[in-house]
């Protein structure tokens, strides 16, 4: 299954950010590791901001003049399923977190390139990628 329109791509991003947000929220409650908790707080704030910005770019940057089809964004490469945090160990949580962030970084990285015909959207995706990369490096 491929993401072939701007709307489908942003909808996918919104869904994934929502899964992340739920995950971060449950980790804020369940995690006992203080250092990790601080990173999780930052991730939670980042994801909250991303959701707002995604809705905004969907409203503001969908320009009919350049609504070109998107090619080569395979959904399954970036998809991750919801995990119930309190049923897994802390090590598993960290692994899961790394997996999530790696996939979302990959998604923003590839989609920024594929949507380069709308510079504003591409730029925002690049920013999201960099912020997640920065936080992943701290884990």
Strand partners, 2: 74
- Which residue ranges make up the site for another protein (CB under 8 A)? 4-8, 11, 55, 58-69, 117
Mapping DSSP onto H, E and C, the string for 40-94 reads: HHHHHHHHHHHHHHHHHHHHHCCCHHHCCCCCCCEHHHCCCCCCCHHHCCHHHHH
Least Å distance between CB 22 and another protein? Answer: 21
Nearer to another protein, 101 or 115 (CB): 115
Token pair listed for 61: 């940057």
Token pair listed for 39: 């990173």
Least Å distance between CB 71 and another protein? Answer: 8
Nearer to another protein, 38 or 56 (CB): 56
Least Å distance between CB 9 and another protein? Answer: 9
Nearer to another protein, 34 or 64 (CB): 64
């Amino acid at each position: 299954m491929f993401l072939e329109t701007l709307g489908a791509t942003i909808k996918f991003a919104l869904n994934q950010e929502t899964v992340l947000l739920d995950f971060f929220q449950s980790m804020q409650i369940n995690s006992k590791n203080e250092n990790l908790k601080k990173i999780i707080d930052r991730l939670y704030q980042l994801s909250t901001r991303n959701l707002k910005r995604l809705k905004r770019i969907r409203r503001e940057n969908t320009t009919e003049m350049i609504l070109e089809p998107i090619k080569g964004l395979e959904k399954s490469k970036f998809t991750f399923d919801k995990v119930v945090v309190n049923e897994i160990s802390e090590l598993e949580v960290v692994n899961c977190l790394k997996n999530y962030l790696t996939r979302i970084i990959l998604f923003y990285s590839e989609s920024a390139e594929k949507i380069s015909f709308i510079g504003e959207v591409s730029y925002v995706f690049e920013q999201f990628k960099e912020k997640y990369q920065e936080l992943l490096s701290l884990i």
